[in-house]
């Protein structure tokens, strides 16, 4: 089991839930990435858990892996959650895990995402984050929250520059060891 906050836990299905877990994600990642143990995933999930329930709104998890961020968003009040990945195994894993957690998520390949989102989460590597900057920014409705993670702190400047080139302001940085998340709120 992985504690995200004292009351929010990621727990494999074969483990008992900790007593203090008021919110949990039961997870079997299968072939897809994302178990909640990596600092970049924990930073995103902690951010989600701190949001007022009405803040998340329509949410996109870009590069969903196991679906862990999409599931976390749904559990913390997102109203309509899309999860996309280039890997069909990730889409399958997200569908399985969202069903196991009794949350509704529309998972598919990247072209399945459409429109604008109040919250956009992308926990992928630095190079894809840079290459996808125009597409990810277009997915954000005006005033959206955007969280980019999956990067080392030494990569943050180049990712930040790619998004500021898309007319976003300077983000807030969240650091966990050598890892970094960029947050626009």
CA separation, residue 123 to residues 17, 93, 94, 147 (Å): 26, 16, 15, 8
Other beta carbons within 10 Å of 40: 21
pLDDT, position 117: 98
pTM: 0.95
pLDDT, position 111: 93
- Sign of the Cα torsion 169, 149, 60, 16 reads negative
Residue spans of the chain under pLDDT 70? 29-33
Using CB atoms within 10 Å of the CB of residue 41, give its burial: 0 to 12 exposed, 13 to 18 middle, 19+ buried. Answer: buried
Buried b / exposed e along 48-87 (16+ C-beta atoms within 10 A): beebeeeebbbbbbbbbbbbbbbbbbbbbebebbbbbbee
pLDDT, position 30: 63
pLDDT digits (tens, 9 = 90+) for 101-132: 999 999 999 999 999 999 999 999 999 999 99
- E strand or H helix that includes residue 84: strand 80-84
Q: What is the side-by-side strand order in the sheet with 23-27?
A: 2-5, 8-12, 23-27
pLDDT, position 29: 58
pLDDT, position 53: 82
């Amino acid at each position: 089991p992985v504690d995200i906050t004292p009351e929010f836990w990621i727990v494999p299905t074969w483990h008992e839930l900790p007593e203090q877990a008021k919110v949990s994600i039961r997870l079997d990642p299968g072939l897809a990435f994302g178990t909640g143990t990596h600092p970049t995933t924990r930073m995103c999930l902690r951010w989600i858990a701190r949001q007022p329930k009405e803040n998340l709104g329509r949410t996109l998890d870009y590069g969903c892996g196991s679906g862990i961020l999409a599931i976390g968003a749904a559990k913390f009040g997102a109203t309509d959650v899309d999860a996309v990945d280039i890997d069909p195994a990730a889409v399958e894993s997200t569908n399985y895990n969202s069903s196991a957690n009794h949350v509704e998520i529309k998972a598919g390949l990247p072209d399945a995402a459409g429109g604008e989102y109040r919250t956009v989460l992308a926990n992928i590597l630095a190079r894809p984050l840079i290459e996808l900057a125009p597409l990810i920014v277009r997915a954000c409705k005006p005033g959206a929250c955007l969280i980019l993670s999956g990067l080392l702190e030494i990569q943050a400047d180049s990712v930040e520059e790619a998004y500021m080139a898309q007319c976003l302001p300077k983000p807030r940085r969240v650091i966990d060891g050598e890892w970094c998340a960029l947050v626009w709120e």
